Each structure stands twice: as structure tokens, then as C-alpha cells.
């Protein structure tokens, strides 16, 4: 069964609209350096206080922006506009930027939240071409995007080694999201830095050990995210050579073709595994055109079985999943 964006657009919008204004439960990434730092989430993050944690709030806002951009006539359009008008004010984003620039917060949300914020801003840039209201949201968010670009430019030259875990610290995923922003606004320096770092980190990878995936609380396929990143940065013929050296051995590659089992969706860590299924579908869709005919046929089946396994968890069930999964589902349905 083929899955479409239109089928899920309103359910995704409804779950995101509820999440981004839900302040509790909340898991802050917040270093206390003084008593005055003990403040509630909405005081710390007037734009991104909901959805359980800062990065999930950011990518649920991205989901709403993408739905506005990709689904004309979305019934929830008016509610999304009202929400963005409240959250994306100059005052709110100035507070978010000041929080990020505090000297004690150099590693705040690095690189996962950084990447998602830039992807959100890339979406607002695209949306502003057709939605006049988005121009104010884009302009107000720009100082925070600029501050994160500065963080990337300071950090990446120092980072000699990639993080290959299938969780928030994954280096390839952060670069892939930041690349969308660099290409959308034609930030040549950032794109060059991303390309150079990706080549240094991943250009010589061989026979990726796919059988090691997933880890017990992964929500990414580190190997497939890496493959999707390199596709964006290496030309077609060279990518075919890179993939041939990188691709797992046949018996191991098969592990990427079968959905992973989620045994307890009320457990926030075990619920991560639905993300593995959705990110596999997303990444396979991006790289499938580069695969040989026999593997492509198997991948097409795998994309559908992975979506069937985890799409329902994005819009119903436990908050451990519904506070974030719809964003990854929308990636899988709209990219590739």
C-alpha cells in the first residue's frame, strides 16, 4: 500500500499543534550555573517550550511549516498561522538567541537541534515565496539561524572525529539538515565546510557494518543517513564508486531491509526504534535511484514495510512517540 502526504497531513498537523503548546512533561537540556537559571521551560524558551524537549519542538514547528508549504488547503492552516504569529515574534526569537549565546551553552543541542533549527529556517525561506505571512516568521527567526551557523563554523574545524551513534549526537544527520539550509539560501561557505567535513569523516568508509544496527535506543540508521548525506555531496559517477565500497556485505545489508520491532512504545528509549523504521524509509527513498535493479526492487518493498510498521505510532498512542515521530514520518513521505 502506497502512503501519501495527503492521507496524513491533518493528523500530523493536529498532533504537532497540540505538542508545541504542551509545556509538560518536559526534558530540558539545561545547565544550571546559578540559582536564577531555575526557570520553567516557557520562560527559558518562549518559542520552543513544548513537545517534551527543545529539539522536538523545533522539528514539530518544521513539520507545520512544511505542511503549509506542501499541502494547499490544509484545514489546519489558520491555526498554524495563528501559532506561528505567537511563537515567531522578534521578542521570542531574541530570547532564544540570547539563551543559545550564553557562554555556558556552547554545546546546547549540538548537532541535532542545530540541524533542525536550520532545516526549519530553510522551510520558512521556501514558504515565504508563496505565503506572505512567512516572510515575517523567516525574518524574525534569522538571527537564531545566524547564531547556529556561527556555531557550526566554529565547531566543525575542531571536530576531528564523527559521532556514529544512531541518536541525537549523530554527525551525518546534523550535517544533512544543515546542508538543506546552506543550499536553500546559497550559503557557500557553510556548504563547503559541510562537504569538506563529510569527505574527511566518511569518504573512506568501507563495508559498513549494518548488522550492528540498530542499537537499543537508536532512532536513526547511522549508515543510511551517512549514505544519504554523501549522495548530496558526491557527483553521480563518484557516488556509485563510493557506494560500492561502502555498502554492507549482502548478508548484513539485509538487516536494513526488515523493519525493527518496537516492544514497548510507552518507554521513551524503546520508542526511539520507530524512528529507525521511518529514517530508513526516508534514506532509502533518497538513494534508491543509485542502486542496481535487483536491490532497488527489494528496497521499494522495504520502504513500504518500514512505513507500515511505524507510521501509526506517529499520530496515536504514547506521548513517548507522538511528541516527535510525525516529523520523521513527514521526512519519509516528502523527501526522496
Given a cut of 80, whether residue 52 has pLDDT beyond it is yes
Kindly state the cell numbers that stand for 282.
Answer: 526516508
pLDDT at 80: 98
| Residue 305 neighbours by CB under 8 Å, 6+ apart | 258, 259
Given a cut of 80, whether residue 37 has pLDDT beyond it is yes
Given a cut of 90, whether residue 336 has pLDDT beyond it is no
Across 308-329, b (16+ Cβ under 10 Å) vs e yields: ebbbbbbbeeebbbbbbbbbbb
Confidence of residue 1 (pLDDT cuts 50, 70, 90): low
Asked if residues 189 and 181 have their Cβ atoms less than 8 Å apart, the reply is no
Averaged pLDDT score across all residues of the chain: 97
Over residues 181-221, the pLDDT tens digits come to: 999 999 999 999 999 999 999 999 999 999 999 999 999 99
The CA distance from 118 to 107, in Å, is 16
Q: What number is the average pLDDT over the span 31-43?
A: 95
The CA distance from 192 to 136, in Å, is 29
pTM of the model: 0.98
Kindly state the cell numbers that stand for 1.
Answer: 500500500
| Residue 30 neighbours by CB under 8 Å, 6+ apart | 37, 44
3-state SS class at 206: coil
Maximum Cα interatomic distance, the chain, rounded to a whole number of Å: 61
The CA distance from 13 to 315, in Å, is 9
The label of the residue with cell 546559497 reads 186
Where does the chain have alpha helices with state H?
Answer: 5-19, 41-44, 54-70, 77-87, 90-101, 112-127, 133-155, 171-184, 188-202, 222-233, 236-246, 250-253, 272-287, 293-310, 319-322, 325-334
Asked if residues 18 and 336 have their Cβ atoms less than 8 Å apart, the reply is no
The CA distance from 254 to 334, in Å, is 25
Over residues 284-296, the pLDDT tens digits come to: 999 999 999 999 9
Given a cut of 80, whether residue 11 has pLDDT beyond it is yes
Cα–Cα distances (Å) from 165 to 83, 133, 278, in that order, read 34, 38, 17
Amino acid at each position: 500500500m502506497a502512503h501519501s502526504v495527503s492521507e496524513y497531513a491533518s493528523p500530523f498537523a493536529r498532533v504537532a499543534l497540540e505538542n508545541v503548546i504542551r509545556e509538560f512533561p518536559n526534558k530540558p537540556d539545561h545547565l544550571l550555573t546559578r540559582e536564577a537559571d531555575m526557570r520553567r521551560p516557557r520562560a527559558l524558551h518562549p518559542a520552543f517550550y513544548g513537545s517534551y524537549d527543545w529539539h522536538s519542538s523545533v522539528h514539530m514547528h518544521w513539520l507545520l511549516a512544511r505542511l503549509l508549504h506542501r499541502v494547499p488547503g490544509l484545514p489546519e492552516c489558520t491555526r498554524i498561522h495563528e501559532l506561528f504569529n505567537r511563537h515567531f515574534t522578534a521578542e521570542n526569537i531574541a530570547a532564544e538567541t540570547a539563551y543559545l549565546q550564553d557562554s555556558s551553552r556552547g554545546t546546547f543541542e549540538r548537532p541535532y537541534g542545530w540541524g533542525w533549527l536550520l532545516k526549519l529556517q530553510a522551510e520558512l525561506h521556501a514558504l515565504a515565496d508563496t505565503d506572505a505571512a512567512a516572510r515575517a516568521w523567516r525574518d524574525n527567526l534569522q538571527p537564531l539561524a545566524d547564531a547556529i551557523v556561527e556555531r557550526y563554523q566554529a565547531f566543525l574545524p575542531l571536530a576531528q572525529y564523527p559521532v556514529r551513534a544512531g541518536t541525537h549526537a549523530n554527525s551525518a544527520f546534523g550535517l544533512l539538515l544543515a546542508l538543506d539550509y546552506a543550499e536553500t539560501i546559497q550559503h557557500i561557505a557553510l556548504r563547503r565546510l559541510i562537504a569538506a567535513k563529510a569527505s574527511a569523516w566518511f569518504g573512506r568508509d568501507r563495508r559498513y557494518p549494518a548488522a550492528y544496527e540498530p542499537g537499543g535506543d537508536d532512532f536513526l540508521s547511522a549508515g543510511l543517513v551517512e549514505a544519504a548525506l554523501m549522495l548530496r555531496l558526491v557527483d553521480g559517477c563518484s557516488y556509485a564508486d563510493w557506494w560500492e565500497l561502502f555498502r554492507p556485505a549482502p548478508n548484513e545489508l539485509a538487516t536494513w531491509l526488515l523493519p525493527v520491532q518496537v516492544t514497548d512504545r510507552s518507554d521513551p528509549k524503546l520508542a526511539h526504534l520507530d524512528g529507525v523504521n521511518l529514517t530508513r524509509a526516508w534514506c532509502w527513498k533518497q538513494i534508491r535511484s543509485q542502486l542496481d535493479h535487483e536491490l532497488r526492487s527489494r528496497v521499494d518493498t522495504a520502504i513500504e514495510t518500514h512505513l507500515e510498521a511505524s507510521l501509526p505510532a506517529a499520530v496515536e498512542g504514547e506521548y513517548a512517540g507522538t511528541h516527535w515521530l510525525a516529523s520523521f514520518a513527514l521526512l519519509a513521505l516528502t523527501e526522496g
